[in-house]
A and B are shown apart, each in its own frame.
Chain A
Amino acid sequence: MRSRKRIWIARDFLKCSGCRKCEIACSLHHEKRIWPEASRVRVFMLVPGAEVPHLCVQCEDYPCVKSCPTGALSINQKTGAVLVDDEKCTACGVCISSCPGRVPHLHPVKKTILICDLCEGRPQCVKVCQEGNWDALETTTRSSWQVYKIHARTPEEITREVVRNLYGEAGEGMI
Chain B
Amino acid sequence: MRGYAGKFLDIDLSTGEITKTTFNENLLKSFIGGRGLAAKILWDRLGEKWETVDPFAPANVLTILTGPLTGFFPGARVCVSGKSPQSNGMVGSTVGGEFGVELKCAGYDGVIVTGKASKPCYITIFEDQISIKDANHVWGKDGKQTLKILTKEGRKELKANFTEYGELKEPQVLYIGPAGENQTRIAAVMEKWTHAAGYGGYGGVMGSKNLKAIVTKGLGPLPEVEDIEKVRELIKQADKKCFKSHSFRRWGTGAAGYTVGAKTSSEPVRNWQDEWHDERGFAVDKFEQRLWVKRYWADYGCPTSCLKIAMPKTGEFKGCITDNPDYELQAYLGPNLGIFTPEDNVYLSSLIDDLGFCGIQGGNTLAFAAELYQRGVVGKEDLDGIQLEWGNTKAFGELARKIAKREGLGALFAEGSYRAAMELGKKKGMNLTQYAVAEKGMAIGAHGLRSGRDFPDIMAYACNVQAGDHTSLPSTPTELENSEFNTILDDSGVYCSFNTFSTGIDLIWDFFSAVTGWQELRQNWYETNALRILQMQRVMLLLGGPDLKWKANVDDDNPPRFYEPLPMGPYKGKAVNRELFEEQKQEYYEAMGWDKNGLPKPEILRKLGLDDVESKLKHAGIL
Query: Which of B148, B166, B235, B319 has the most chain A CB atoms closer than 10 A to its own CB?
Result: B166
Instruction: Please report the total number of A residues contacting B with Cβ < 8 Å.
Output: 52
Q: How far is the CB of A166 from chain B (nearest CB, A)?
A: 5
Write out the residue numbers on chain A whose beta carbons fall within 8 Å of the beta carbon of B296.
Answer: 15, 17, 134
Contact A108 B301 (CB under 8 A): no
Q: Is A18 a contact partner of B309 (Cβ separation < 8 A)?
A: no
Whether a CB of chain B sits under 8 angstroms from the CB of A151 is: no
Report A102-119 CB contacts with B as 1/0, cut-off 8 Å. Answer: 111110110100000000
Q: How far is the CA of A16 from the CA of B71 in the complex (A)?
A: 19
Chain B 229-256 residues near chain A, CB threshold 8 A: 232, 235, 239, 243
Distance in angstroms from A111 CB to nearest chain B CB is 8
SS class, residues of chain B in contact with chain A:
loop
- Are B147's CB and A48's CB within 8 A? yes
For window 485-502 of chain B, which residues contact chain A by CB distance below 8 Å?
Answer: none
Q: List 21 A-B contacts (CB under 8 A).
A: A19-B300, A19-B303, A21-B303, A27-B221, A28-B232, A31-B221, A34-B222, A36-B218, A37-B169, A37-B218, A38-B221, A48-B194, A91-B164, A93-B164, A93-B166, A105-B167, A111-B164, A133-B243, A155-B167, A166-B309, A169-B319
The CA-CA distance from A174 to B321 in the complex, in Å, is 12
Do A37 and B105 have beta carbons less than 8 Å apart? Answer: yes
A104 to B192, CA, bound (A): 27
Q: Please, which residues of chain B bring their CB within 8 A of the CB of A15? A: 296
Instruction: Return chain A residues, CB-CB under 8 Å to B147.
Output: 48
Partner of B170, one of A46, A103, A131, A132: A46
Let me know if A63 is at the binding interface, CB within 8 A: no
B151 at the interface (CB under 8 A from A): yes
B residues near A102, Cβ cutoff 8 Å: 166-167
**Is A35's CB within 8 Å of the partner chain B?**
yes
Beyond the given A48-B147, A174-B144, please list 10 additional residue pairs across the A-B interface where CB-CB is below 8 A: A18-B298, A21-B303, A34-B222, A35-B221, A37-B168, A43-B169, A45-B169, A102-B166, A106-B164, A131-B239
B396 within 8 A of A: no
Interface string of B571-610 (1 = CB under 8 A from A): 0000000000000000000000000000000000000000
Residues of A within 8 A of B169 (CB): 36-37, 42-45
Interface residues of B in 72-120 (CB under 8 A from A): 72, 98, 101-102, 105
Contact check, A174 vs B148: say whether CB atoms are below 8 A apart. Answer: yes
Given contacts A28-B232, A34-B71, contact A105 B165 (CB under 8 A): yes
Q: Check: A33 CB closer than 8 A to any chain B CB.
A: yes
| Interface contact B301-A19, CB-CB below 8 Å | yes
Whether A72 is near chain B, meaning CB under 8 Å from some CB there, is no
Asked if residues A166 and B221 are in contact (CB atoms below 8 Å), the reply is: no
State the 8 A-B residue pairs at the shortest beta-carbon distance, nearest first.
Answer: A170-B319, A35-B221, A105-B166, A19-B298, A108-B219, A33-B221, A17-B298, A17-B296
Report how far A2 CA is from B166 CA in the complex, Å.
32
**A14 located at the interface, meaning its Cβ lies under 8 Å from any Cβ of chain B in the complex:** yes
A17 touches B305 (CB 8 A): yes
CA distance A3 to B217 in the complex (A): 39
**What is the chain B residue whose CB lies nearest that of A31?**
B221
Are A14 and B319 within 8 A (Cβ)? no
Given the complex of chains A and B, what is the CA–CA distance between A133 and B305 in angstroms?
Answer: 11
- Provide the bound-state CA to CA distance between A106 and B98, in Å: 21
A38–B239 alpha-carbon span in the complex (Å): 23
Cβ of A147 within 8 Å of any chain B Cβ, yes or no, is: no
B380 at the interface (CB under 8 A from A): no
**Distance (whole angstroms) from the CB of A167 to the closest CB of chain B:** 6
The reply to whether the CB of B294 lies closer than 8 angstroms to some CB of chain A is yes
> Is the CB–CB distance between A49 and B167 below 8 Å?
no
Q: Is B299 an interface residue (CB 8 A)?
A: yes
Q: Establish whether residues A33 and B222, one from each chain, have CB atoms under 8 Å apart when the complex forms.
A: yes
Among residues of B, the one whose C-beta sits closest to the C-beta of A111 is B164
